[in-house]
């Protein structure tokens, strides 16, 4: 699909992204000590169905593997693509990333947050805050005339100025009829490099930030990405539309009235 969306495609993206945000918002309210990540996944599946949407994750193919769940739920040292499981119980003091990607009417909306389970260590609070701030800094650079590297650079500088590191092995991406479209949006890079930003792009910007080193590895389940040094990691994501008036976050909840 083209880098620049038509007005028709943009209005469909608005719908899928609004639903993705609403699903994530409802899912986050269920997080508490004692719940399993599978409980959350099943709730996510049901909430998507209530909106007439479906998970874009379920059955998503990377190489020869198909993703077996409806959401990605990544706890503590898990960076992304945590596979929900009945054996994974959330505990007080954990941090959990919920990544919800829906398909509605042929279009994808992709968003994620990391939130505390009960009371968490101040260091983890800082990790989540810096990750959210870096997303905001990246989004701010998604303006006409800039390049993708300006987004990447803003994220990396904010994270590293705070003593954390950005994951290199996974990147943000364009999104539309497919979950992963060009351009790639790394969370590290140099100003003034990469694809030029023009109005009508829909971009999934998603910093992944580690307390320790930037290296990651994938567990034997073939999906779950964890930090190589087992340090905690946070992740957040929005789908953003570029316009002549600046970036517009599409993955926001709309009130029922609007």
Residues near Co ion (CB under 5 A): 99, 110, 112, 204, 206, 237
Q: How far is the CB of 31 from ligand MF3 (least distance, A)?
A: 18
Contact with ligand MF3 (CB under 6 A): which of 72, 154, 201, 234?
72
C-beta nearest to Co ion: residue:
204
Question: CA 71 to CA 209: how far, in whole Å?
Answer: 20
Question: CA 21 to CA 113: how far, in whole Å?
Answer: 10
Partners of 74 in beta bridges? 97
41 binds ligand MF3 per the rule CB under 6 A:
no
Residue 121 CA, distance from chain mean position: 23
Q: Which CB sits closer to ligand MF3, 61 or 119?
A: 61
The answer to whether 227 and 77 have CB atoms below 8 angstroms apart is: yes
Side-chain half-sphere CA neighbours of 97 within 13 A: 34
Q: Which CB sits closer to ligand MF3, 80 or 95?
A: 80
- Identify the helix (H) or strand (E) that includes residue 241: strand 238-241
The item of ligand MF3, Co ion, none sharing an interface with residue 60, based on CB under 5 to 8 Å by kind, is ligand MF3
Residues in region 182-221 near ligand MF3 by CB under 6 A: 204, 206
78 binds ligand MF3 per the rule CB under 6 A:
no
The answer to whether 105 and 174 have CB atoms below 8 angstroms apart is: no
Judged by the rule CB under 6 A, the positions of this chain that interact with ligand MF3 are 57, 60, 67, 72, 81, 99, 101, 110, 204, 206, 237
């Amino acid at each position: 699909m083209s880098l620049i969306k038509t007005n028709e495609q943009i209005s469909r993206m608005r719908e899928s992204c609004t639903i993705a945000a609403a699903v994530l918002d409802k899912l986050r309210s269920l997080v508490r000590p004692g719940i399993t990540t599978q409980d959350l996944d099943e709730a996510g599946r049901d909430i998507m169905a209530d909106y007439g949407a479906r998970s874009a994750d379920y059955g998503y193919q990377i190489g020869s593997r198909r993703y077996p769940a409806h959401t990605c739920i990544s706890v503590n040292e898990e960076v992304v693509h945590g596979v929900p499981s009945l054996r994974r119980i959330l505990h007080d003091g954990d941090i959990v990333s919920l990544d919800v990607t829906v398909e509605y009417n042929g279009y994808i909306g992709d968003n994620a947050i990391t939130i505390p389970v009960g009371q968490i260590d101040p260091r983890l609070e800082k990790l989540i805050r810096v990750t959210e701030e870096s997303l905001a800094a990246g989004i701010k650079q998604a303006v006409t005339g800039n390049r993708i590297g300006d987004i990447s650079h803003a994220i990396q500088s904010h994270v590293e100025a705070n003593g954390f590191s950005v994951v290199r092995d996974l990147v943000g991406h364009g999104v539309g009829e497919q979950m992963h479209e060009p351009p790639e949006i790394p969370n590290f890079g140099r100003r003034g490099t990469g694809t030029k930003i023009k109005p009508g792009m829909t971009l999934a910007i998603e910093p992944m930030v580690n307390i320790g080193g930037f290296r990651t590895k994938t567990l034997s389940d073939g999906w779950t990405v964890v930090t190589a040094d087992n340090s905690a990691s946070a992740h957040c994501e929005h789908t953003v539309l570029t316009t002549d008036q600046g970036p517009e976050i599409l993955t926001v909840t709309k009130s029922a009235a609007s």
